[in-house]
Amino acid sequence: GDSVTQTEGQVALSEEDFLTIHCNYSASGYPALFWYVQYPGEGPQFLFRASRDKEKGSSRGFEATYNKEATSFHLQKASVQESDSAVYYCALSANTGNYKYVFGAGTRLKVIA
């Protein structure tokens, strides 16, 4: 079945550091790829998506590029802030007609001021 793998379970950075969270996927067809962010006590919320090869999604300074060959959608941000501390989820929705969304295990980001 379809799957999403996030390499890092936890990431700790200082403010203004560069962030990379790795996301790789396995899916049939041509899935849409997403990043969601979850703050404490809240449900996950949509950050951005990409739907085709080499498309870049971005929001709030975060970005990721759809790489079909490498089956990756790595999240990056040039300069993190303490307010970016949250759990980040990579997800896919396969274009197979059942509209199921598959999420990765999540990466907890802690940014120290």
Partner 1 sequence: EAAVTQSPRNKVAVTGGKVTLSCNQTNNHNNMYWYRQDTGHGLRLIHYSYGAGSTEKGDIPDGYKASRPSQENFSLILELATPSQTSVYFCASGMGQSQNTLYFGAGTRLSVL
37, 104, 109, 111: which one binds partner 1 (CB under 8 A): 104
The answer to whether the beta carbons of residues 5 and 71 sit under 8 Å apart is: no
What is the Cα Rg of the chain in Å?
Answer: 14
Q: Residue 72 or residue 95: which is nearer to partner 1 going by CB?
A: 95
54, 56, 60, 100: which one binds partner 1 (CB under 8 A): 100
CA angle 87, 101, 28 (to 5 degrees): 120
The answer to whether the beta carbons of residues 111 and 84 sit under 8 Å apart is: yes
Q: What is the DSSP string of 81-97?
A: -GGG-EEEEEEEE-SSS
Stretch near partner 1 under the rule CB under 8 A, chosen from 11-19, 61-69, 78-86, 89-97: 89-97
Residues 25-84 that bind partner 1 (CB under 8 A): 31-32, 34, 36, 41-46, 49, 51
64, 93, 109, 111: which one binds partner 1 (CB under 8 A): 93
CA distance linking residue 49 with residue 11, whole number of Å: 22
| Residues at the interface with partner 1 (CB under 8 A) | 1, 6, 9, 31-32, 34, 36, 41-46, 49, 51, 89, 91, 93-95, 98-106
